[in-house]
Protein backbone atom coordinates (compact mmCIF):
# COMPACT_ATOMS: atom_id res chain seq x y z
CA UNK A 1 0.00 0.00 0.00
CA UNK A 2 1.25 3.50 -0.89
CA UNK A 3 0.83 6.21 1.68
CA UNK A 4 0.97 9.85 0.63
CA UNK A 5 1.18 12.70 3.10
CA UNK A 6 0.78 16.37 2.26
CA UNK A 7 1.79 19.32 4.37
CA UNK A 8 -0.67 22.17 4.91
CA UNK A 9 1.22 24.66 2.67
CA UNK A 10 1.19 22.30 -0.33
CA UNK A 11 -2.49 21.61 0.17
CA UNK A 12 -3.30 25.33 0.21
CA UNK A 13 -1.17 25.87 -2.91
CA UNK A 14 -3.07 23.16 -4.80
CA UNK A 15 -6.42 24.59 -3.70
CA UNK A 16 -5.40 28.08 -4.87
CA UNK A 17 -4.35 26.67 -8.24
CA UNK A 18 -7.69 24.91 -8.62
CA UNK A 19 -9.54 28.12 -7.77
CA UNK A 20 -7.50 30.02 -10.36
CA UNK A 21 -8.39 27.49 -13.07
CA UNK A 22 -12.11 27.94 -12.42
CA UNK A 23 -12.02 31.74 -12.69
CA UNK A 24 -13.71 33.41 -15.67
CA UNK A 25 -11.49 34.00 -18.71
CA UNK A 26 -11.37 37.81 -18.32
CA UNK A 27 -10.30 37.53 -14.69
CA UNK A 28 -7.55 35.01 -15.56
CA UNK A 29 -6.33 37.33 -18.31
CA UNK A 30 -6.16 40.27 -15.92
CA UNK A 31 -4.24 38.22 -13.32
CA UNK A 32 -1.84 36.92 -15.98
CA UNK A 33 -1.35 40.44 -17.37
CA UNK A 34 -0.42 41.76 -13.93
CA UNK A 35 1.96 38.86 -13.30
CA UNK A 36 3.61 39.33 -16.71
CA UNK A 37 4.00 43.08 -16.11
CA UNK A 38 5.68 42.31 -12.79
CA UNK A 39 8.05 39.95 -14.58
CA UNK A 40 8.87 42.63 -17.16
CA UNK A 41 9.63 45.14 -14.38
CA UNK A 42 11.93 42.63 -12.69
CA UNK A 43 13.71 41.96 -15.99
CA UNK A 44 14.17 45.69 -16.57
CA UNK A 45 15.55 46.14 -13.08
CA UNK A 46 18.00 43.25 -13.56
CA UNK A 47 19.08 44.54 -16.95
CA UNK A 48 19.67 48.04 -15.56
CA UNK A 49 21.73 46.59 -12.72
CA UNK A 50 23.59 44.28 -15.13
CA UNK A 51 22.57 41.24 -13.07
CA UNK A 52 21.21 37.77 -13.78
CA UNK A 53 17.87 36.79 -12.18
CA UNK A 54 19.73 34.92 -9.44
CA UNK A 55 21.55 38.13 -8.44
CA UNK A 56 24.98 37.39 -9.94
CA UNK A 57 26.68 40.19 -11.87
CA UNK A 58 27.02 39.78 -15.62
CA UNK A 59 30.57 39.07 -16.79
CA UNK A 60 32.53 42.13 -17.91
CA UNK A 61 32.91 42.96 -21.58
CA UNK A 62 35.77 41.20 -23.33
CA UNK A 63 37.11 44.42 -24.87
CA UNK A 64 38.27 47.67 -23.33
CA UNK A 65 34.83 49.27 -23.37
CA UNK A 66 33.21 49.97 -20.01
CA UNK A 67 29.77 50.74 -21.39
CA UNK A 68 26.78 48.88 -19.98
CA UNK A 69 25.51 45.96 -22.00
CA UNK A 70 22.07 45.90 -23.63
CA UNK A 71 21.54 49.61 -23.05
CA UNK A 72 17.94 50.79 -23.59
CA UNK A 73 16.77 47.35 -24.69
CA UNK A 74 14.99 46.80 -21.39
CA UNK A 75 12.58 49.65 -22.07
CA UNK A 76 11.36 47.86 -25.22
CA UNK A 77 10.54 44.63 -23.37
CA UNK A 78 6.78 44.18 -22.96
CA UNK A 79 3.92 41.71 -22.67
CA UNK A 80 3.27 40.63 -26.27
CA UNK A 81 0.48 38.13 -25.78
CA UNK A 82 -2.08 36.94 -23.26
CA UNK A 83 -4.85 34.46 -24.04
CA UNK A 84 -5.99 33.80 -20.49
CA UNK A 85 -3.92 30.63 -20.16
CA UNK A 86 -0.46 31.83 -21.18
CA UNK A 87 1.17 35.25 -21.16
CA UNK A 88 4.11 35.95 -23.46
CA UNK A 89 6.84 38.48 -22.78
CA UNK A 90 8.85 39.74 -25.74
CA UNK A 91 10.12 42.70 -27.71
CA UNK A 92 7.89 45.30 -29.33
CA UNK A 93 9.57 44.96 -32.72
CA UNK A 94 11.27 42.01 -34.37
CA UNK A 95 14.34 44.16 -35.17
CA UNK A 96 14.80 44.82 -31.46
CA UNK A 97 14.49 41.12 -30.77
CA UNK A 98 17.29 40.42 -33.24
CA UNK A 99 19.56 43.07 -31.73
CA UNK A 100 18.91 41.73 -28.22
CA UNK A 101 19.73 38.18 -29.33
CA UNK A 102 22.95 39.31 -31.03
CA UNK A 103 24.05 41.20 -27.92
CA UNK A 104 23.05 38.39 -25.61
CA UNK A 105 24.92 35.69 -27.52
CA UNK A 106 27.90 37.93 -28.40
CA UNK A 107 27.65 37.84 -32.19
CA UNK A 108 29.96 40.21 -33.99
CA UNK A 109 28.96 42.39 -36.89
CA UNK A 110 31.28 43.82 -39.43
CA UNK A 111 30.51 47.23 -40.88
CA UNK A 112 32.23 48.21 -44.10
CA UNK A 113 32.16 51.36 -46.17
CA UNK A 114 30.81 49.46 -49.19
CA UNK A 115 27.91 48.03 -47.18
CA UNK A 116 27.03 51.50 -45.86
CA UNK A 117 27.00 52.97 -49.38
CA UNK A 118 24.82 50.11 -50.61
CA UNK A 119 22.36 50.62 -47.75
CA UNK A 120 22.13 54.35 -48.51
CA UNK A 121 21.48 53.69 -52.20
CA UNK A 122 18.75 51.16 -51.38
CA UNK A 123 17.12 53.59 -48.93
CA UNK A 124 16.79 56.27 -51.61
CA UNK A 125 14.88 53.98 -54.00
pTM for this model (two decimals): 0.68
Three-state DSSP state, 51: strand
Residues 42 and 35: their CA atoms lie apart, in Å, by 11
Nearest to 84 by CA among 24, 19, 17: 24
Nearest to 21 by CA among 5, 32, 11, 33: 32
- The pLDDT value given to residue 81: 92
Q: What are phi and psi of 111, to 5 degrees?
A: -110, 125
Beta strands in the chain (DSSP E): 77-82, 87-91
**For 48-83, how does the pLDDT look when each residue is reduced to its tens digit (9 = 90+)?**
999 998 999 988 888 888 888 888 888 999 999 998
Question: Per-residue confidence of the chain (125 residues) as pLDDT tens digits?
Answer: 677 777 888 888 888 877 877 888 898 899 889 999 999 999 999 989 999 989 999 888 888 888 888 888 889 999 999 988 889 999 989 888 888 888 878 888 788 999 999 989 988 76
Amino acid sequence: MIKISVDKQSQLSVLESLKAMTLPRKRRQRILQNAAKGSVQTSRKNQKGQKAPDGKKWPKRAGKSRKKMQVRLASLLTVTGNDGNHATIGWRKSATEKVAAKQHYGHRERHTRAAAIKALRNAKK
